[in-house]
Amino acid sequence: MESEPKSHDRSNVGAKIIRPLGHLECFQSALHLLGLYRSTIVTCRFNIPGEFVDEGAQEQLVIKIEQAIAAAVLQHPFLQVGLVDEDSKCPHWVQLETIDLAHHIQWQILIEGSAEEYQSLYDSSLREQLDTKFSNLQTRPAWRIVVLRSKGNLSHLDLMFVWNHPIADGMSGKIFQETVLRNLNDPVSMTERPLLQNHVLRLSATAERLPPPMEKLAKFPISLGFAAATVWQELKPSFLSGEHSTNATWAPIRLEPYETTQRIISLDSSTLQNILSACRQNKTTLTGLLHAAVLISLATQLVDKEAPAFASVTALNLRRHMPSSSEGPLEFEANQTMANFVSRQIHKFDEALVRKIRELAAKSRETSTPSNVDCEPNLRKLAGTDALTEVLWATAARVRGEIQERLDLGLKNDIVGLMGLVGDWRSQMKQDLKKPRSVAWNVTNLGVMDGKLGTAEIAQAQDANNDKMPKGVSGPKGWSVSRAVFSLSADVTEAFIHISPMAIKAGDIHIEISWQRGLIDDNICERLTAGVGEWLRFIGQAQS
């Protein structure tokens, strides 16, 4: 994936301007420009049908994957646009004539090696992609794909979809992977005609089909009181920021070193279902539970002087509030559209609650058996403590209630409605670099992905005409996804820790925890991962 311009890019120079970026798109663009947030990734493990498994079928496999990706690009206009005037108050989307997929898709194949060595390749590729900015934005769309495969296990491949946040939100990553899966399993469209000529995809009607920004699709009514309080809190100059007990001053804002570290909590389907059942019994959700478990972990590691209270964020999918369109070329279903349809809900955990958690944890340690686990003394032992379990569920239920209240309000008093007041996000973010970090962690839950999309259609096609199955379709099982992981790069000015769950329908869940390495003692985040995992496993086993 070269960064220098190639001949095909010349056809995109001076491309037609489509529209200015929307308010949230401008915000995300400035983050990327300044290197404050660099990329987002959804990685899916695709199980390969029999005729593509053998090493000798690698060339056909590459063609099949490339065709499915090309079809997905044509289905989603934001994968077809360039960006001009990035370093300005008002960047614009431009229409590109072609995309050379050779610049966007990279295969990494482990010729020889164990499962551990393949995992090492996977981890290093993920870290590189998370921390690498996008280039040539004027002539190339801001996304890339890395496909990983091992000759030691040819039955599957891992497809990393990496993108620049201005073109799409987190849910869009799941939508893209679902689109690719459908295309792989489509018994007709993938065989009717080739989409590419020497890896080059020709584009048309992108300008007419590009979804408008949220503020053009729907109204965001703002009350005077909300506007006054929010504008002062968010936009006041750094010298007036002052100290708030919930500020994450223990995680300083620094541009360097910019290196994302990530860890994974993996839970099987049975454990996940038990956890979800316990959440329902306690009037909460997995998102609420994760907030509560992270709070307990941080509160029991950091002392009162450096962290008397905490604040966190939940990312909210606003597609339920976005009208779909059936007018002319701008036809789209919001729930199936890649775009930035997202907002946030802030949660605050006051000094009294944090003090209570610390007191209960201290009492628990006095009566517990010393732990041999390499983590904060007896951190794992806190999972299941009666008093702390009560606090855990009460906090999780409160967080769930705050999210529901926000959703019930619709778009009223949503922060997106005030983003237009910022004339230049570059200047605003340079000011933010001088302020204390306001939130400690963020939970972005992509929910569940159906890993068998399109397989029913394959079965129907085989039943209809078993002898004339389209070439490239293996039979009833077809292509499937058995694993999905959602990854976020380090965020210099916003949440220090990212909690990113994603599950497969009737399958496992993977919760990625990521942070900017070297700002604090990284063992704090390592212990947080261990502690949150232990809480989840305790709840999952207690329900069995």
DSSP string, 484-513: EEEEE---SSS-SEEEEEEEETTS-EEEEE
* Structural domain count of the chain: 1
Name the stretches of the chain with pLDDT < 70. Answer: 1-14, 188-194, 232, 235-243, 326-329, 368-381, 384, 456-477, 544
Is 32 contained in some domain? yes
Is 452 contained in some domain? yes
Is 229 contained in some domain? no
Q: 92, 104, 102: which is closest to 14 by C-alpha?
A: 92
Is 479 contained in some domain? yes
Output the six-digit token pair for 193. 């005609």
pLDDT at 365: 77
The residue whose two tokens read 């925890």 is: 513
pLDDT at 243: 63
pLDDT tens, 168-227? 999 999 999 999 999 999 876 544 556 888 999 999 888 899 999 999 999 999 999 999
pLDDT at 89: 96
The residue whose two tokens read 């970090």 is: 437
Q: Collapsing DSSP states into helix, strand and coil, what is residue 327?
A: strand
Is 211 contained in some domain? yes
Q: Rounded to 5 degrees, what are φ and ψ at 142?
A: -90, 70
CB distance 541 to 486 below 8 Å: no
Q: Rounded to 5 degrees, what are φ and ψ at 279?
A: -60, -45
Q: 211, 212, 205, 209: which is closest to 96 by C-alpha?
A: 205
pLDDT at 381: 62
pLDDT at 363: 87
The one-letter amino acid code at 223 reads: S
213/132 Cα distance (integer angstroms)? 26
Q: How many CB atoms lie within 10 A of CB 341?
A: 26
Domain with residue 192: its CATH number is 3.30.559.10
Is 40 contained in some domain? yes
The one-letter amino acid code at 331 reads: E
pLDDT at 112: 86
Domain boundaries, position 112 = 17-215+447-483
pLDDT at 369: 52
Is 265 contained in some domain? no
Output the six-digit token pair for 485. 């992981």
Q: Rounded to 5 degrees, what are φ and ψ at 181?
A: -60, -45
Contacts for 292 with CB less than 8 Å, ≥ 6 apart: 391, 392, 393, 395, 396, 399
pLDDT at 123: 97
Q: Where are the beta strands (DSSP E) in 196-334?
A: 200-202, 260-267, 310-317, 325-327, 330-332
Is 165 contained in some domain? yes
Strand partners for 312: 347, 441
pLDDT at 361: 92
